Chains A and B, each alone.
Chain A
Amino acid sequence: MEWIDFATPKSVSEAVEMMASKGDRARAMAGGTDVLVQLRGGRRSADLVVDMKEIPELNELSYSAQNGLTLGAAVPCYRIYQDKAVIDNYPGLIDAASLIGGIQIQGRASIGGNLCNAAPSGDSIPPIIALSGVANITGPNGNRQVPVEDFCTGPGQNVLQNGEILVSLTIPAPQPHSGANYLRFIPRNEMDIAVAGVGTSVLLDASGQNFVSARISLASVAPTPVFSQAAGDSLAGKAVSDEAIQEASEKAMADAKPINDMRGTVRQRVHLVGVLTRRTLNNAIQRARGG
């Protein structure tokens, strides 16, 4: 392993300055559960690692009915699934935060880091896409916002330019009669990488019998997490039924463009997208109905 400088900025502006000074030779680190493994294994290299955990804005975890959830980019998973407001309002997010790694990993790993790592299999990304999350970015040229479904651009690649950092994610407050769920398929029961994953959110009408809208997002079936707009849109305005759910699952399957690798085959992954879309939709509907 080569020499690497390590810095711990205390403010967003200091962090941006440090990141900008090294360009693409700087790596941001939150929990480090991806970046340290990659550096050690030679899959990434860097001259400077910038620790984001001591910047207040990146540790913010707050909720209001008006602004929704602000999730600092370095907030570790355990804080998310122990937070009362998240438990009450975003069970679909808890699904992901509580299944990433084991207890030790959840004590360090952040959802912001999971997003920046931009793995197609990142478990927290589909639920945030399903929940209409937005990434709040700061860089040398100021602030900008990017919908999470547009954040990842390839395996391990994202929209961040040199010097830019992800400060936080914003997730709108849930509407009445809405529900969300994330499920992944792994061959074991825990501690594994998704062969396929599906995050869904649904908004039902007051009767709970009809879809107003839905958002569906897929993991591990393309170079980036997939926002399957066609699948979600197919449900809008329809009565809740097995047929509608089946149709949405077929549209999601059509949006899955996986590869064969040691974790699964194309056929298996497309099939699993169908299974998981149906299962998550049913779970999300149940949550929307208050179940």
Chain B
Amino acid sequence: MVSNPAEANIVLSEVEFEVVGKRPIRPDGVDKVTGRAQYGADINLSGLIHGKVLRSPHAHARIKSIDTSKAEAYPGVRAVVTAKNLPFASLSKEDLGGDYMRLKFASDHVLASDKVLFKGHPVAAVAANNPHVAEEAIKLINVDYEVLPPVLDVLEAMKDDAPLLHEELRTTSLGETSEKPSNIAAHLRYEKGDAEVGFAAADVVVEKEFRTAAVHQGYIEPHNGTAFWNTDGQLSIWTSTQGAFAVRGSVADVLRQPVSKVKVTPMEIGGGFGGKITAYLDAIAALLSQKSGAPVKVVMSRVDVFEASGPAPATWMKVKIGATKDGKFTAVKAELSFEAGAYPGSPVMQGMMCSFGCYDVPNGLIDGYDVVVNKPKTAAYRAPGSPQAAFGVESVVDDIAHQLGIDPIEIRLLNAAKEGTRRIEGPVANRIGLVECLEAARDHDHYKKPLGPGQRGRGVACGYWMNRSFSSSLSMTVNYDGIVTLIMGSVDIGGTRASIAQQTAETLGIAYENVKPTVVDTDSIGYTFITGGSRTSFATGWAAIEAAEEVKKLMVARAARIWDTSEDDVEYADGVIQHRSDPELRMTFKDLARQLANTGGAITGSANVEPAGEGNGYAVHLVDVEVDPETGKTDILRFTAVQDAGKAVHPSYVEGQMQGGAVQGIGWALNEEYFFDDKGQMMNSSFLDYRMPTSLDLPMIDTVIVEVANPGHPYGVRGVGEAAIVPPMAAIANAINGAAGVRLNSLPMTPGNVLDALSGDGQ
């Protein structure tokens, strides 16, 4: 147990293992640092041609006609496609029945048929012998638009008289479907106890409205997709994705193909954070390949990525909390309205689930609205929905603490969710580590140290992500040299080849270096859910443990066969196979591996799992800021991230997740936002004006890994990828309040917005 609070990075560990919990070198490290790793855009097939996408210049318009004749005639052009080339164009409402709306949305998102719904919406695509010809050719496509008024704000979109994005969209509200069309796709509700009774019993009630801007994940690698549709009907796709099977599923869906006709090979991925689940280009590349007969590669520019991939939604929220004078919460209430973008499907439900996930509350009522607006369709972004909700909730919790004169960590400890807490949406918590995280933050050197001179403030906030499981498929082979090759369907974004190999080695009792993990295509392994939801080290790790257990059984059986004895007489311990009573009969894993070829052939183990028991993830952040009262600029002076990892399989990568989440949260808090003009044109679609923090804007993010073992995993593992992005916005808002005496209820808290707040208006 390490517990020196003056140390920067700390692991507060309950259990030690041989390989799990160590920090070995990652299997993909050498290729990445030497530039040899093959990312999506690196694919180069024989006869490859290049595609470009023509995108809508308008945020909202009806497509009256598209004339592609000039582009088709342009020298070097090999194929031109529009929505007319998608199967949806030739299917009728009657054919599709209840599936009509879903497929229309999915197809129109790939290539718009009747309307464009955001600036950057694809309307046509060209494949040509080189990208420059394709770029010239798309300019020759003539689209006749009837420009419509755009709907750019969630509250505006919810009004009865707002222009409609989808004339056929009805509101699904608590199981009922509305008569009238609306931009509100869904109204959801979670309820526990009676909130009004709880508020009546409160000594103090705080209610506030909040807004957050749309933000982008900011992965460094732009989207890409390469497709080859062979004459035998087999479609192969190479792409950068968080889920090869997700791409296979959505491409097969919009192209109306059986999934087994589509093979998706996931390339190395240059960041995703939830944004690389939706398949934007793969179906377009496939259509261009079908028409041209050649493999086609399509790559987005950075502008395309900003304008036409999936940001996290802008939101409007109202949060209300009541507490007794001792600080105990009596009731909570939240109303969350999330911009879905052009098509329904914002993460408002996850936002609702997470909003009060840190607290044990007797009464709660949460309403959520999924609202379409003329902006790119939102996508997942690290703990989707939770950071926005936490900004509101954790700001109000801080206000209550202030009003009651209670320390902000103490009020959170007093109300913290723990084992047995029933959340508002229903589930009861298993053994969770929020209390331990809060205690670690309270006891940390950072929390005790005086702030020093200047306009400084310290903020605290906590964050919750439920963590996910879903299905994973994995198989492993014992090679004759004793090396175990591991193949899996989980794409590696955050070091999961290492973390799965570690769990394999731990289970087999062999060295980490003797496990060789590979991520494979969709024809080579069983269905595996995306890498997302903080699920991979947990669920695919579980598959590895099961497959390794199978290998152990088979190794025991083989040894029994070689020794001509009963399997019951043989045991497997710490990578050694031995006879229970005859000490002469003993083989290491490697010894036995060497004999496999001549004693019955290779040994493989495989597992297809969907484990229950994913443990919830909690994070607590401490931040010190200094506000320049003349310019409104906030500097981050010190930042400490505390998080329960259950068991940190590879502590360095856990620290990386905690630091990365914190840094993205800092950007979201201070400067990042989609800035639209009144016509729905994004004005800052470059990294120059979409201001993510650079290394020069950040202090070292100190980390404290808390390990409260997850009882639902053999090594106690919990997902760690997401909880760390949840607390920073509120923590920084709370710190700014301390430093400058102004409470900012809108994100981002730019210097201009802080200045406005300091001068007494704006907020």
**Which B residues are in CB contact (< 8 Å) with A190?**
694, 696-697
**Which B residues are in CB contact (< 8 Å) with A65?**
none
A139-147, A156-164, A264-272 - the one binding chain B? A264-272
Known: A185-B631, A189-B635, A268-B755. 17 other contacts (CB 8 A): A1-B132, A1-B135, A2-B136, A41-B303, A185-B633, A187-B671, A187-B751, A188-B691, A188-B694, A189-B697, A190-B696, A191-B696, A262-B675, A263-B689, A268-B752, A271-B755, A275-B631
**Which B residues are in CB contact (< 8 Å) with A195?**
751-752
Answer whether residue A192 sits at the interface, using C-beta atoms and an 8 A cutoff: yes
Q: State whether B631 touches A189 (Cβ < 8 A).
A: no
Answer whether residue A242 sits at the interface, using C-beta atoms and an 8 A cutoff: no
Looking at chain A's contact residues, is the secondary structure mostly helix, strand, loop, or mixed? Answer: loop
B120 to chain A, nearest CB (A): 15
Q: Which of B132, B631, B683, B697 contacts A188 (CB 8 A)?
A: B697
Q: Which of A1, A185, A191, A261 contacts B751 (CB 8 A)?
A: A185
Within 8 A of B (CB), among A255-291: 261-265, 268, 271-272, 275
A274 to chain B, nearest CB (A): 9
Answer whether residue A50 sits at the interface, using C-beta atoms and an 8 A cutoff: no
Q: State whether B633 touches A187 (Cβ < 8 A).
A: yes
* Nearest A-chain residue to B687, judged by Cβ: A191
In the assembled complex, the Cα of A118 lies from the Cα of B410 at a distance in Å of 56
A143 to chain B, nearest CB (A): 36
State how many residues of chain B have any CB contact under 8 Å with chain A: 25
Pairs A–B under 8 Å by Cβ, sample size 23 = A2-B132, A2-B136, A41-B303, A185-B631, A185-B633, A187-B670, A187-B750, A188-B696, A189-B635, A190-B694, A190-B696, A191-B694, A192-B691, A193-B688, A193-B689, A195-B752, A262-B675, A262-B684, A264-B752, A265-B752, A268-B752, A268-B755, A272-B631
**Which A residues are in CB contact (< 8 Å) with B697?**
188-190
State how many residues of chain A have any CB contact under 8 Å with chain B: 21
A266 to chain B, nearest CB (A): 11
Answer whether residue B630 sits at the interface, using C-beta atoms and an 8 A cutoff: yes
* Nearest B-chain residue to A275, judged by Cβ: B630
B350 to chain A, nearest CB (A): 29
**Which A residues are in CB contact (< 8 Å) with B683?**
261-262
* Nearest B-chain residue to A264, judged by Cβ: B752
A108 to chain B, nearest CB (A): 16
B50 to chain A, nearest CB (A): 13
Within 8 A of B (CB), among A102-146: none
In the assembled complex, the Cα of A265 lies from the Cα of B132 at a distance in Å of 38
* Nearest A-chain residue to B634, judged by Cβ: A187
In the assembled complex, the Cα of A187 lies from the Cα of B671 at a distance in Å of 7
**Which B residues are in CB contact (< 8 Å) with A271?**
755
**Which B residues are in CB contact (< 8 Å) with A188?**
671, 691, 693-694, 696-697
**Which B residues are in CB contact (< 8 Å) with A262?**
675, 683-684, 689
In the assembled complex, the Cα of A268 lies from the Cα of B758 at a distance in Å of 12
**Which A residues are in CB contact (< 8 Å) with B689?**
193, 262-263
In the assembled complex, the Cα of A264 lies from the Cα of B630 at a distance in Å of 15
B663 to chain A, nearest CB (A): 13
B718 to chain A, nearest CB (A): 34
* Nearest B-chain residue to A185, judged by Cβ: B631
Q: Give the 5 A-B CB pairs with smallest separation, nearest first.
A: A262-B675, A268-B752, A262-B683, A262-B684, A190-B696
Within 8 A of A (CB), among B678-711: 683-684, 688-689, 691, 693-694, 696-697
1/0 contact string of B120-131 vs chain A (CB within 8 Å): 000000000000
In the assembled complex, the Cα of A249 lies from the Cα of B135 at a distance in Å of 49
* Nearest A-chain residue to B750, judged by Cβ: A187
**Which B residues are in CB contact (< 8 Å) with A265?**
752
A208 to chain B, nearest CB (A): 26
Within 8 A of A (CB), among B62-77: none
* Nearest A-chain residue to B674, judged by Cβ: A262
1/0 contact string of B742-759 vs chain A (CB within 8 Å): 000000001110010000
In the assembled complex, the Cα of A250 lies from the Cα of B399 at a distance in Å of 38
In the assembled complex, the Cα of A61 lies from the Cα of B697 at a distance in Å of 33
**Which A residues are in CB contact (< 8 Å) with B135?**
1
Q: State whether A189 touches B752 (Cβ < 8 A).
A: no
Within 8 A of B (CB), among A177-205: 185, 187-193, 195
Which one of A1, A190, A191 has the highest number of Cβ atoms from chain B below 10 Å of its Cβ?
A191
1/0 contact string of B308-324 vs chain A (CB within 8 Å): 00000000000000000
**Which B residues are in CB contact (< 8 Å) with A185?**
631, 633, 751
A224 to chain B, nearest CB (A): 20
Which one of A193, A263, A264 has the highest number of Cβ atoms from chain B below 10 Å of its Cβ?
A263
**Which A residues are in CB contact (< 8 Å) with B132?**
1-2
**Which B residues are in CB contact (< 8 Å) with A268?**
632, 751-752, 755
* Nearest A-chain residue to B302, judged by Cβ: A41
In the assembled complex, the Cα of A187 lies from the Cα of B696 at a distance in Å of 12
* Nearest A-chain residue to B689, judged by Cβ: A262
A30 to chain B, nearest CB (A): 20
